[in-house]
């Protein structure tokens, strides 16, 4: 049995490199690719992560 946690299209560059062909991007992911990426910088310290989760700020 093969288990997976993500659609191959999410990692298109890696899949293309591995098998030599681009994966098809399903409709449910196409909209995600058009959205603005939102991220925050955070250290690897647990206390900072915990504070972010509990207080909603970094």
Q: What are the DSSP calls for 1-49, one per residue?
A: ----SS-GGGGHHHHHHHHSSPPP--HHHHHHHHSPP------S-HHHH
> What is the tens place of the pLDDT at every residue in 3-46?
667 788 888 899 999 999 988 888 888 888 888 988 889 999 99
Per-residue model confidence (pLDDT) at position 8: 83
Host domain of residue 42: 8-55
The reported pTM is 0.44
Give me the pLDDT at residue 1, please.
Answer: 63
Residue written as tokens 């990692």? 11
Q: Given this model, what pLDDT does residue 16 score?
A: 92
- Looking at the domain assignment, is residue 43 inside a domain? yes
Q: Is residue 25 part of a domain?
A: yes
Q: For residue 41, tell me if it sits in a domain.
A: yes
Distances (CA, A) of 34 to 3, 30, 46: 28, 7, 32
How many domains are contained in the chain?
1
Is residue 23 in some structural domain? yes
């Amino acid at each position: 049995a093969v288990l997976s946690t993500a659609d191959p299209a999410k990692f298109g560059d890696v899949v293309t490199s591995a098998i030599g062909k681009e994966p098809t991007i399903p409709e449910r992911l196409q909209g995600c690719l058009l959205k603005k990426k939102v991220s925050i910088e955070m250290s690897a310290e647990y206390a900072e992560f915990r504070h972010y989760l509990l207080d909603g700020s970094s």
